[in-house]
Structure 1
């Protein structure tokens, strides 16, 4: 991808973000894993999120079309009571913690978010929602790290918290060396 193409696109997703104290609680639980697996690519705590719809690489012109209907959706949605819980892995490489609480409400919100995106004429890979928060990725030559770290989270149950905002998030993935960073493009409070 050349610089002109990069400037004309943005990689975005729509998500919920746990409050800082819930993330700090999980971070404390992860300290043994941080020490045991320092070569894993750990996501920054400030970037932890629960993805409702991953839209992928889109033209920047698509973003303004999404703002009003997502704001309207947030205004008519209620906060969700959720908790971070346990641990698992995808493909023995991606470490995650699970989500508990109002999972029915979470699935309904994800369905509504995806419907809004489709109504805006934005095509995206519409995969089934698997509620989780990604924590780290193991390097290809160390896949057992994620499996072992997930086992260390098995007994973790975080406190309940309210998801109170819908976030439209951009990322720099594929934009050069270094870790992935996320930034809110915009966030809207639930009604």
Structure 2
């Protein structure tokens, strides 16, 4: 029998996820871009997320140690009211949707998450928070598509929705060639008053 042995490490990040109806609203607005720019590598709608802290490759034991304190942090917080708004790009290679709503609350939450991770001995590249939701990536020879797609989506304004859970997400499940796969390692409701 050829059983797959789980990897000793996992690539993880901590994020928020828009609800399905908010994602579908954006997907509807993206339909012309999907047709106009088929060579872009579009992220799957079920994988859309707002990263608060990218931790990178960690031993599974370190990931397990983070779960209880992340659950406690989520229990202290109320849901954040956010929206998907506008668009832009990073280096003409990555197309994203912007985030609107309670950005101050989002920045405070990200700061608390990052502090908690550091306090538990996990080193990571602590880059400034630039709230966004990644939609697609360009192939090296097709960066103009990202710029044009961003311009076409710049006026998008989605409805406001509550971010109700904190997610610890693992990526590259399967570790083979092909698209990146994401899966919740765990998630916790925001239940603070």
Identify the TM-score tier after normalising by the shorter chain. over 0.9
Task: State the match for 2:3 in structure 1.
Answer: none
Task: State the match for 1:59 in structure 2.
Answer: 59
Q: Does 1:41 align with 2:41?
A: yes
Task: State the match for 1:3 in structure 2.
Answer: none
Q: TM-score of the superposition, structure 2-length normalised? A: 0.95
Render the CA deviation track for 1:61-94: whole Å, top value 9, x for unaligned. Answer: 1111100100000000110000000010000000
What stretches of structure 1 of length at least 5 have no aligned partner?
Answer: 1-5
Root-mean-square deviation (CA, aligned residues, Å) is 1.5
Q: Distance in 1 between matches of 2:58 and 2:145?
A: 33
Q: TM-score of the superposition, structure 1-length normalised? A: 0.96
1:39-188 counterparts in 2 under 5 A? 39-172=39-172, 175-188=175-188
Render the CA deviation track for 1:108-167: whole Å, top value 9, x for unaligned. Answer: 000000011011101111000000000000000101111100001111000000000000
Count of residues paired in the alignment: 188
Q: Distance in 2 between matches of 1:179 and 1:40?
A: 13
Q: Distance in 2 between matches of 1:22 and 1:60?
A: 32
Aligned CA distance change for structure 1 residues 90 and 173 (closer, same or farther; 3 Å): farther
Runs of 4 or more, structure 1, over 6 Å off, are none
